[in-house]
Chain A
Amino acid sequence: MEMTANEKWISVHPIVLSMIAALGLTVKPEQIRCEKFEAASKHYLVRMGLFKVLQIVSAINIVEHEAAGRFIPITQIRTSDELTKFITEMIPLLHLESEQAKTLGYIVSELVRNVLEHAEAEHGAILCAQYYKKSNSIRIGIADTGLGIKKTMNRSWPATTDLEAIQLALTPGITGTTRREGGTEQNAGAGLFFIKSIASVNRDFFVIYSGNGFYKLLKKNPTKRLSLNADPFKDRHSIDDAMPYWQGTLVGVDITLDQTAEFSMLLKVIRETYSMAVKERKKAAFKKPRFI
């Protein structure tokens, strides 16, 4: 693995850092070749813990400041208990208001649990987050190098492409663990739909990438009335089904803090959309009369 960067600047979304770290963990540290970075912002990679996670020497010296309130460095989570510890200890460090902490905790918990339960990823979930003062937003990136969405969906659903699998995974009530409505005792198939809904209601950025498939929820016009869609392809979005193959899944979410909707209000809308989706799916499965 070879790491290079622009000579003048380094500016990366946390999803990219998580992606590099996740990829780096699949090879031995001695197989990673890292060029001498010249950009003034090279320290950022050290501060986010990239070289530490990959166990390689960076040759970049920095004076470390307190991380509290600004970022969550690259973190590897492999067990359910590690996740609970992470949410309990790390998220309060960002000094968010109660509603915002709830939203962030919710997103991290559901996304990381997806990895731990479905991805069969040897290295678990890799995540990091950054607070941006100018836009008053938090950007989060979560990566794994596990089975990928298509393989996990194909356990119960016949998705033929990665993009089709992503569409299914974002639809409420669809889980790779069963075709049964309501899911299994441990899985409902609602996690990703909730995350996409949080991003959609807050008019935020949301991206998911697995295999060759890529889905991006586009920001909504603030003057337009908000509505949630059970089918992610009915939301304003962009897609690509010919991306370079990523073995596993990547998710990126931006939360703009000053417009984070009251979480309980958001849940009311989610409830209505979810209920409608289940009813429609049930109705679609009804036998139809035969007219001859």
Chain B
Amino acid sequence: MKTIVIFNRAGAFAENKDTARDIRLKEIIPAFESHEDVILDFERVDAATQSFIHALISDLLRKYGSETLDRISFKSCNDTVQQIIRIVVDYMQEG
């Protein structure tokens, strides 16, 4: 199980899409490819933009389908972050 602490990469306001893309490409996808599950830890992250979460997980949902949600756990998300993640997960599955 690989744990990625979002605060350490993106700070308390997670908005930098380049950072999100780097986390996805350099950490999440390699973990998936080596059959490792991932915990995205949002402890101390006050807010995240939809663009950040989209850049972080949308391509995973497209490539790996809903199995992505079996392999990623979202830890310590406040209400705001939870809502943003729900929005992105919903429209990626509906689309």
Contact = CB atoms under 8 A, between A and B. Distances in A.
Interface of A: 80-81, 83-84, 87-88, 98, 102, 105-106, 109-110, 113, 172-173, 180-183, 185-188, 190-191, 194, 263-264, 267-268, 270-271, 274-275, 278-279, 282
Contact of B84 (A98, A183, A267): A267
Given A113-B17, A181-B95, A267-B87, A102 B58 contact: no
B11 A88 contact: yes
Contact of A191 (B18, B51, B82): B51
A105 B15 CA distance: 9
B62 interface: yes
Interface of B: 11, 13, 15-18, 21, 24, 46-47, 49-51, 54-55, 58-59, 62, 78-80, 82-84, 86-88, 90-92, 94-95
Contact of A185 (B15, B55, B80): B55
A112 to B, nearest CB: 10
A278 B95 CA distance: 7
A183 B53 CA distance: 13
Contacts of B95: 173, 180-182, 278, 282
B27 to A, nearest CB: 15
B54 A98 contact: no
Contacts of A83: 15-16
A271 B86 contact: yes
Contact of A186 (B21, B83, B88, B91): B21
